Structure 1
């Protein structure tokens, strides 16, 4: 069984259990990506608005990403170019933003 291990401090908003087969749900995965974005941004001392401006997205959009959402009730799903731009601005590798194990994104297809 794979077990999720976060590289960041556990703050109570992250899942504290392992699901059957050790997989996160898509919603949990998105929240963890958002948490990792927020941690990386704070480590650089940047505001959400500054990061959004540097990436070329609306401040509101970036705020939702840090919550793991695209819109209320829907997990974040940024375009690849946006995700890579965030990595460049925050000076992190893509793998640092994406927790493992990944959810099964093929489920139900």
Structure 2
């Protein structure tokens, strides 16, 4: 019996994180530019994140420090930010 977990495609994680970022931003009443500025990233980069992309057609792949900064903007732990269940 194979006990390894099934690998989830990166596109799935990217789509879920994109949806979560949009939801959190809407709940906070912030603009994309406001979130980007507070996290120390460009508005363009944040806009791509909300689309689930890093480059067109490429799944989002944010750096750890960017994820930590975004979690801080939304006043949560990074584990909460990445909890998609």
TM-score (norm 1): 0.66
Contact 1:69 1:76 in 2 (8 A): yes
Q: CA RMSD in A?
A: 1.9
Query: How many residues align structurally?
Result: 81
Contact 2:16 2:84 in 1 (8 A): no
Paired position in structure 1 for 2:45: 61
> 1:89/1:100 Cα in 2 relative to 1: closer, same or farther (>3 Å)?
closer
Question: Unmatched 5+ residue regions in structure 2?
Answer: none
> 1:57/1:67 Cα in 2 relative to 1: closer, same or farther (>3 Å)?
same
Structure showing the higher helix proportion among its residues? 2
Quote how far apart the aligned CAs of 1:95 are: 2.2
Quote how far apart the aligned CAs of 1:49 are: 0.3
TM-score (norm 2): 0.82
Question: Unmatched 5+ residue regions in structure 1?
Answer: 1-20, 102-109
